[in-house]
Amino acid sequence: MQPITPEQMDMIDANSEKLGFPRILLMENAGSALAGHIINHAKELNCRKVVVVAGTGNNGGDGFVAARHLAGDSKEISVILLGSKMKTKESTINWNGIKNMDKTIKFLTIDDFDFEKKMKSIILEADIIIDAIFGTGIKGLPRKLHSNAISLINDSKAYVLSVDVPSGLDPLTGEVNNISVIANETITFHRLKIGLLKRKDITGKIILKSIGVPPEAEEGVMN
């Protein structure tokens, strides 16, 4: 299957919306596929404690959806939110939803007392970490908050699954601007992103999941 650029994926998402399949539906499918992968491999992965480290964009939104599905499977779920204001309406909807799940999901936000210390403890005690910090829209150097989280993820003994691309990896060039998550697996969606194929040392095993993008959405983009 032909790999694509981040720009092409964005165009395909936009075309899907025009065809009546909004981005939030694709986000739901992505997060559900990610959670399903973890649930299906629960026996080979020690996944009692699952930690979602999320940014405020659509990559974080995928992580929120996965957290909701995993909570329903009786996993011990924590979500660490790296930011205060959501960047998209899709991530906003899913964040507002899971915030109401405080009986089944533990939350840590940057407004919480002693955030850095608590983040370190949660990440280093995790069995599985879902890296949902940055997706294909990453630009420039990561802020200190994000860099610190990425360093902790890389220092942990957890099994790390990156959502779409490892956070910090340029999905077009495969270059790393300062720091990147080193993943055991990267769960990417619809088509492989070009940059993933250039850095297997960072991506780990690459797994491609369908998220229900209609073939018509690729017209004018792939041909």
172 falls in which pLDDT band (50, 70, 90)? very high
Q: Is CATH 3.40.50.10260 what the domain over 6-218 is classified as, yes or no? A: yes
For residue 201, give Cα distances in angstroms to 38, 91, 205: 22, 29, 9
Instruction: Write out pLDDT tens, residues 13-40.
Output: 999 999 999 999 999 999 999 999 999 8
75 falls in which pLDDT band (50, 70, 90)? confident
Tell me what pLDDT residue 70 has.
93
Say which amino acid occupies 121.
Answer: S
Domain boundaries, the chain: 6-218
